[in-house]
Amino acid sequence: MSTPPRPIKAGNSRHGSIARSPFSTSYLSASPIAHESIERDLAECSDDEVETPDSPSSEDESSESSTIRPDALQHSFSNTYRRPSFVAFGGTRPAITPGPAEGKYLSKKEKKQSRNEERSLLRDNHLAPPKHPEPPKRSAFNRLYRRLFSTKISKRDEEAPPEPIFTAEPSETSALLGESARTHHERLNAQWEAAVAAGKIKTTWQREAKTLWGYSSPLVVTFILQYSLTVASIFTVGHLGKVELGAVSLASMTANITGYAIYQGLATSLDTLCAQAYGSGKRHLVGLQLQRMVCFLWVLTIPIGIIWLSAEKILEMIVPEKESAQFAGLYLRILLIGAPGYAAFESGKRFVQAQGLFSATTYVLLIAAPLNAFMNWLFVWQFKWGFVGAPVAVVVTDNLLPLLLFLYVRFVDGRQCWNGFTKRAFHNWGPMVKLALPGLLMVEAEFLAFEILTLASSYFGTTHLAAQSILSTLTALTFQIPFPISIAASTRVANLIGATLTDAAKTSAKVAMCAATIVGVFNVVLLSSMRFYIPQLFTNDQGVIDLVASVLPLCAAFQLFDALAANCNGLLRGLGRQEIGGWVNLFCYYVVAMPISFGTGFGLGWELYGLWSGVALALGLVAALEGFFIYRADWDQAVEDAQDRNAAG
């Protein structure tokens, strides 16, 4: 028997028709630092710079206005990945899956999506008239198809078929008094709340599978496109020789830790600043926050540049392979030219995501990723530039990304939040830096564990460093599928919990776990069955191919744990307990994995196999601990906690 829904706590009165949208942000939190920053910026603005909200021209526009009072959002819908710092994350495989930004304001598209989801669930539960009338007779095949894949609740599961609680639209005979004063969206909100309070909203595995696919498929494309920027260089340079292949891995490690992770970590503060500026109706401040972050990151490029220019000497003191260190230093010196462009893109994608324009980065990558692969081939092999051609292709791509994003904003969408360049971009950096530092520490922790393995592998020789480059690339590439699924699971579970639909959230979590298991098994089979062929795509060196083929079964074996661990992290974020996942990951990687990796790799002489043994055990432990916590979690308490956080926000 399903648990009866807990009553929705009373909140502030509605301000506009979207105030009672069905799905609430399950771990909503306001940022005092962001409010402080916005207040300071407003104090510096002249009266003619502050825009006034446009008068709504229609009922629908009124409901979809992006200027929303915070107290009206007690139960508002928000995707938990609507401002994700990790969409188009790039770099190598993270050790600690980052949590989503906690936005509290909705774009027009999100509000429309909320209402559509609400109507669809009501129809599936036979509480609203069907979208299309039922045909009088169906074929046997059609009946079988609907039985297997229909998202509707089977009426046989109900003791008595429920009566529809509303009609979709008022008819000509509907009462005018009272009804005419309520908008269609307000009626929908009231009807949804009545259904939830009565415990009539349920879901099916078919609906959750469909929703999971809809959420995750575009993210998978985006992740793979972004990571292909890294794969292209390794794939192209690998055929030059094992020294060059190892050097690319060494250079990428240094660039990630000392540069890219800093840019990504600090830019996460825009997930809060831009989102709250946009949601509170101060659109001109969204562009101001973008300018401020770009200037800040460009200033930081100076010390980063000093490190990259000196990387050859630094690496020669750390790694025993001097030739690899020299090639890595050359790679980083060229890569420095693209650092400002990379910083601008990391800031720019938060600018468009704050406006709900998530497809912008995907469109940009659809152009840049294939072009990057072509340039790698062209520069390295056709122009005969050799090793130098790879970083040149990366530089061109890094500078092309912000340019393409600018063209999207200028000619497609997002321009409304740009108010021109201003000197205020050089003021009020304090709140931005305070918000940025935690993000920096998180991203650095994500990168560091796997980069340590790359550094350690160099002590076994050039062949091992080259093999490590291939192995880390492959495991990172396979991770680009379960990780977006975990984001989708986080989204769905958080939305259902925010809507007080505990049973539906559990069903969604079970479907997500099944999907993660399927993906994990697929990765296991793929890597293990192709272990002698995949390395040949990256290098012609037989010694590197044999070494990769010998270690790849271990990497294949932990793919299932990898997928389950990623999914458990997503479910914990959806439950609003993302701190559990953070601490478990930190413990397993730095307390368990690193000692085992170094002990078996160096102490027992297992070398590369030993380094990856620690990672495999850590992933299994992460999946077990987080899975046990999710199994024992009080989902009803998670609903109450979500309501408390929303009320506090």
Q: Which of 180, 203, 166 is nearest to 2 (CA)?
A: 203
**Residue 349: helix, strand or coil by DSSP?**
helix
Length of the chain: 649
* pLDDT above 50 for 77: no
Residue 380: what are its φ and ψ, rounded to 5°? -75, -45
* pLDDT above 50 for 180: no
How far apart (Å, rounded) are the C-alpha atoms in residues 206 and 152? 9
Q: Which residue has better confidence, 456 or 25?
A: 456
How far apart (Å, rounded) are the C-alpha atoms in residues 298 and 339? 8
Most confident of 55-59, 350-354, 374-378, 575-579: 374-378
How far apart (Å, rounded) are the C-alpha atoms in residues 611 and 617? 11
CB proximity list for 224: less than 8 A, separation 6 or greater: 477, 480
Q: Which of 25, 131, 152 is nearest to 78 (CA)?
A: 25
Residue 428 confidence (pLDDT): 80
Residue 97 confidence (pLDDT): 53
Q: Which residue has better confidence, 269 or 17?
A: 269
Binning pLDDT at 50, 70 and 90, where does residue 358 land?
Answer: confident
Residue 147 confidence (pLDDT): 62
443 near 261, Cβ under 8 Å? yes
> Region 595-615: what's the mean pLDDT?
95
**Which residue's structure tokens are 């201003």?**
422
Residue 72 confidence (pLDDT): 29
Residue 51 confidence (pLDDT): 53
* pLDDT above 80 for 63: no
Q: Which residue has better confidence, 111 or 78?
A: 111
b/e string for 450-468 if b means 16 or more Cβ within 10 A? bbbbbbbbbebbbbbbbbb
Lowest mean pLDDT among 156-170, 406-420, 578-592, 620-634: 156-170
- Tokens in use for 433? 């830096």
How far apart (Å, rounded) are the C-alpha atoms in residues 313 and 311? 6
> Region 96-113: what's the mean pLDDT?
56
Residue 85: what are its φ and ψ, rounded to 5°? -70, -15
Lowest mean pLDDT among 105-114, 472-481, 493-502, 632-641: 105-114
How far apart (Å, rounded) are the C-alpha atoms in residues 197 and 127? 13
Lowest mean pLDDT among 199-203, 222-226, 447-451, 582-586: 199-203
Most confident of 280-284, 300-304, 483-487: 300-304
How far apart (Å, rounded) are the C-alpha atoms in residues 169 and 183? 11
Binning pLDDT at 50, 70 and 90, where does residue 75 land?
Answer: very low
Q: What is the per-residue pLDDT across 405-441, written as a single tens digit (0 to 9) for each?
A: 999 999 999 999 998 888 888 888 888 888 788 778 8
- Tokens in use for 368? 């840049």
Q: What is the per-residue pLDDT across 113-131, written as a single tens digit (0 to 9) for each?
A: 777 777 777 766 667 677 6
Residue 146 confidence (pLDDT): 61
Residue 359 confidence (pLDDT): 86
> Region 327-356: what's the mean pLDDT?
94
Residue 283 confidence (pLDDT): 85
514 near 22, Cβ under 8 Å? no
Half-sphere exposure in the Cβ direction for 264 (13 Å, CA): 25
* pLDDT above 60 for 210: yes
**Residue 221: helix, strand or coil by DSSP?**
helix
Residue 258 is classified by DSSP as I
How far apart (Å, rounded) are the C-alpha atoms in residues 136 and 451? 63
Lowest mean pLDDT among 42-46, 60-64, 163-167, 302-306: 60-64
How far apart (Å, rounded) are the C-alpha atoms in residues 22 and 192? 7
Q: Which residue has better confidence, 422 or 27?
A: 422
DSSP 45-82: S-GGGS--PPPPSSHHHHHT-S---GGG-TT----TTS
Residue 433 confidence (pLDDT): 83
How far apart (Å, rounded) are the C-alpha atoms in residues 491 and 499? 12
Residue 341 confidence (pLDDT): 97
Residue 173 confidence (pLDDT): 47
Residue 468 confidence (pLDDT): 94
Residue 392 confidence (pLDDT): 97
221 near 483, Cβ under 8 Å? no
pLDDT > 70: percent of the chain:
72
CB atoms closer than 10 angstroms to residue 25: 29
pLDDT > 90: percent of the chain:
43
How far apart (Å, rounded) are the C-alpha atoms in residues 41 and 415? 20
Residue 44 confidence (pLDDT): 67
Residue 141 confidence (pLDDT): 65
**Which residue's structure tokens are 């009462």?**
175
DSSP 119-145: HHHHHHTTSS--SSPPPS---HHHHHH
Residue 96 confidence (pLDDT): 60
On average, the pLDDT of the chain sits at 78
- Tokens in use for 275? 């989102």
